[in-house]
């Protein structure tokens, strides 16, 4: 199930690392540079995956329980939680299967293992694509709620939201199947990297525009209260900090993985790029961390959802 270097499966199997392995080690190449390799223990990876699963299950349960949260905005948040849940479950499942096979506890024919690997890879790829899509959908929804506030409920209706959600899931499944089937083609990697860049640009443009509108609104309020020098500055700094955190976390968690894919196209045989390839497990771990952080950014900030969450937990 595992592969080495840039020729490994697109989202292929994780490199098994022993929990006793040091977190940082220098991997020396006989003909290449010394590389700093960050080794992620299996126990830590599985623990992060389980935390993500619990968090996102709670988000789905809370929104399902409270009828006041049955609106397009929260449906997009539910779908993001489901996508993050699938990202975590699929990666945890793949790691668990690899550990069982390596320990001899799971005996299976090579063909069966390969089929299982294909299914898990499609699940991982599809959940990643859908997660990025729903992050973009949430940004578009919030943009419409600010710039088209009076027409928002006539623009973002439940039928339209359901159609958008269905289209995203269908596109994610089809694209992930094609990506895994043709994983060794350069065009597949370029499509995935282009998709990530498009989502990053979309989110950055929309959120920066929303921040500019919010600061403009705050300046208008300040003029009415004759406090031009205090409210706008403070509000602008707070909004800029929030925007920086939101986009920064998105880029930090997803960027290294897509950098890995980019280098597989640009320099698959270069020794320095090989150093990046050796940290593939770290890049997947960052995506799991993003699944843990997403509920805090998009869901747990809602006071009503937090109250419902307390009822669900208790």
Choosing among 1.20.1070.10, 3.30.450.40, 1.10.1740.10, 3.40.50.720, the CATH entry for 40-224+234-313 is: 1.20.1070.10
Model confidence, pTM:
0.81
Question: Quick count: other Cβ atoms within 10 Å of Cβ 77?
Answer: 25
Which residue, chain included where needed, has tokens 């506890």? 105
The tens digit of pLDDT for each residue in 269-306 reads 888 888 888 888 888 889 999 999 988 888 788 888 88
Q: What does 100-150 look like in DSSP terms, one character per residue?
A: HHHHTSS---HHHHHHHHHHHHHHHHHHHHHHHHHHHHHHHHHHHHHHTTT
Least confident of 48-62, 166-180, 234-248: 234-248
Tokens representing 243 are: 């925007």
The tens digit of pLDDT for each residue in 72-90 reads 989 999 999 999 999 888 8
In this structure, are residues 42 and 99 in contact, taking their beta carbons and an 8 Å threshold? yes
In this structure, are residues 308 and 260 in contact, taking their beta carbons and an 8 Å threshold? no
């Amino acid at each position: 199930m595992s592969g080495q270097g840039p020729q490994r499966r697109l989202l292929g199997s994780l490199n098994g690392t022993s929990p006793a392995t040091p977190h940082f080690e220098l991997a020396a190449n006989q003909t290449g540079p010394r590389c700093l390799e960050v080794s992620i223990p299996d126990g830590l990876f599985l623990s992060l995956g389980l935390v993500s699963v619990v968090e996102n299950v709670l988000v789905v349960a809370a929104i399902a329980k409270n009828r006041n949260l049955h609106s397009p905005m929260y449906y997009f948040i539910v779908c993001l939680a489901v996508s993050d849940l699938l990202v975590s479950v699929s990666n945890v499942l793949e790691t668990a299967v690899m550990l069982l096979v390596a320990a001899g506890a799971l005996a299976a024919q090579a063909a069966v293992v390969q089929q299982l690997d294909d299914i898990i890879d499609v699940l991982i790829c599809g959940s990643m694509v859908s997660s990025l899509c729903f992050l973009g959908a949430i940004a578009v929804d919030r943009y419409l709620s600010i710039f088209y506030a009076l027409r928002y409920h006539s623009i973002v209706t439940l039928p339209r939201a359901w159609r958008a959600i269905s289209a995203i899931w269908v596109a994610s499944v089809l694209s992930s199947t094609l990506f895994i089937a043709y994983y060794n083609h350069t065009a597949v990697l370029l499509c995935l990297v282009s998709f990530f860049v498009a989502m990053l640009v979309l989110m950055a443009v929309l959120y920066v525009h929303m921040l500019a509108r919010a600061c403009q609104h705050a300046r208008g309020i300040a003029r009415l209260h004759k406090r031009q020098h205090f409210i706008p500055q403070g509000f602008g700094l707070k909004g800029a900090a929030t925007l920086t955190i939101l986009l920064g976390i998105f880029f930090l968690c997803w960027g290294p993985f897509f950098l890995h894919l980019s280098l597989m196209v640009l320099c698959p045989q270069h020794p320095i790029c090989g150093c990046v390839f050796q940290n593939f497990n770290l890049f997947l771990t960052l995506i799991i961390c993003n699944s843990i952080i997403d509920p805090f950014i998009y869901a747990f900030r809602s006071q009503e959802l937090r109250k419902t969450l307390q009822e669900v937990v208790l």
